[in-house]
Structure formats: C-alpha cells, structure tokens
C-alpha cells in the first residue's frame, strides 16, 4: 500500500504495479491485460504502446482507468488491503506471463520479485523505476483474535482463536499462545489448525488453543 511514496498526476498516493521488459526485443503491449480476478483475465487492457528492452513502466492501481499511451496508466481496479491475486495476461486472454498471490498489503512495503533470486515476496525497499530490492522476511499476520467465553469466571477454560497468515512465500511453522494470570508463571500452549481438540476446522487458517481454567485461578 502506497502511503508516503510515489504520487500520481493528481497528487494521490495510489497503489502501483511495475512491469519490466527483461527480453532483448521491444514488446508490443497491445492486447496485454492486468487483472485482479482470475475469472476476468481481460479486466484492464494496456494501451497500444511498446515497451523497449530493459525498460520499466509504472501502472497505478487507482481505479481511474486511464490508458493514454503518452500519459500515466491507471487500472480500472484497486488492490484490496487484505490481498488479492494479480496477473499479467498475454493478448490471447489465457496465458498468464506473471502472477502474484493474494498477499496482504502493508503501508509502504513492496511485494514483488527479488531482483537477484527471482523469488516473490515482500521486498526490503520500495524502488519505483529501478531494479527491485531483496526479499525481506517479516513475521506472519495475526488477525481475528477472539476468546470464548467472553466473560470468564473461576474454573472456566478459555478457548483462544486467531487467524495466522504467512507473508509471501513464508510458511507457518509453529504457533504458540502465551498466557499469564496475575503474578503466576507464564504458560505456553500450542495453537493448532488440524481440526483436533477445540479447533473447529483443519486447514482454515484459524489456529486454536485452550487455556485450562485451573491455570488461571
């Protein structure tokens, strides 16, 4: 998510996508498309323009839908903060030449291809118009944290759930819940997403652990 960086011609900090011609010949972009919906591969079409070898071009994902070959390019869609797929599609409307997964977006952090390894993920720097930086490996995203029951009385077990999502190609290893009651020693419990115990469904990204009531009072 672009907040403090590149501005478009209207002065907006619109999110942006950068394409680069890594080949030795110019690429005619006529008929090429960008999409955030696999069911609509021709969602936004590039203008009739050529991209010389080694050249880069910024496309703002602003929803403004501008395709002047000599001006700024703006897609007809915006990128969702929670993440959505993004694909560059050839003129046949079927061949995906580059694709990124539905990775959550974070303020002023670029997601793209490592300029050295070729792997996709979050990058250590934001470099519009220049070669991409190296991959950065931040921790997972933890959201939708809740517990039941909402009001706890003496002796109640507390079931804690949280959605845990890896960033980029990072996989979730072990998720641990730490708890402490008053001045007692800290307790650790493994949070599971395997459908066992109090976990509702295996593999849904919601991790669950139970704090036994006897450890709290």
Percent of the chain as helix, strand, coil, to the nearest 5: 0, 35, 65
Residue with the two structure tokens 């593999």: 203
pLDDT tens, position by position, 3-46: 768 999 999 999 999 999 999 999 999 999 999 999 999 999 99
pLDDT tens, position by position, 164-203: 987 655 678 899 999 888 778 888 999 999 999 999 999 9
Which pLDDT value is given to residue 91?
96
Distance CA 62, CA 76 (A): 7
Virtual CA dihedral for 118, 123, 128, 130, nearest 10 degrees?
-50
Distance CA 161, CA 145 (A): 6
pLDDT tens, position by position, 74-129: 999 998 888 888 999 999 999 999 988 877 787 888 888 887 888 888 888 888 99
Q: Which of 17, 180, 138 is nearest to 84 (CA)?
A: 17
Sheet containing strand 44-45, edge to edge, reads 44-45, 33-35, 86-89, 96-100
Total residue length of the chain = 217
Which pLDDT value is given to residue 139?
73
Which pLDDT value is given to residue 17?
94
Residue 57 CB-density burial (10 A; 0-12 exposed, 13-18 middle, 19+ buried): middle
Helix-then-strand count for the chain, H and E: 0, 17
Asked if the model's pLDDT at residue 217 lies above 60, the reply is: no
How far apart, in Å, do the first and last CA atoms of the chain sit?
44
Q: Residue 190, SS3?
A: strand
Sheet containing strand 73-74, edge to edge, reads 16-20, 56-60, 73-74, 66-67
Strands 158-165 and 33-35: unpaired
């Amino acid at each position: 998510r672009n907040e403090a960086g590149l501005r478009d011609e209207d002065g907006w900090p619109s999110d942006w996508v950068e394409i680069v011609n890594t080949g030795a010949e110019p690429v005619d972009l006529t008929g090429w498309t960008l999409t955030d919906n696999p069911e609509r591969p021709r969602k936004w079409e590039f203008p009739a323009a050529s991209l010389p070898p080694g050249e880069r071009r910024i496309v703002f994902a602003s929803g403004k839908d501008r395709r002047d070959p000599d001006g700024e390019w703006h897609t007809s869609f915006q990128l969702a903060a929670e993440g959505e797929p993004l694909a560059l599609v050839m003129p046949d409307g079927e061949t995906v030449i580059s694709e990124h997964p539905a990775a959550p977006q974070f303020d002023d952090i670029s997601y793209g291809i490592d300029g050295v390894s070729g792997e996709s993920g979050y990058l250590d720097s934001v470099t519009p118009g220049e070669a991409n930086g190296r991959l950065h490996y931040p921790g997972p995203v933890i959201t939708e944290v809740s517990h039941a029951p909402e009001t706890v009385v003496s002796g109640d077990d507390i079931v804690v759930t949280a959605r845990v999502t890896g960033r980029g190609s990072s996989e979730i290893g072990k998720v641990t819940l730490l708890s402490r009651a008053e001045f007692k020693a800290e307790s650790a419990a493994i949070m599971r997403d395997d459908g066992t115990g109090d976990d509702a469904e295996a593999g849904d990204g919601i991790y669950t652990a139970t704090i036994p009531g006897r450890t709290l009072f």
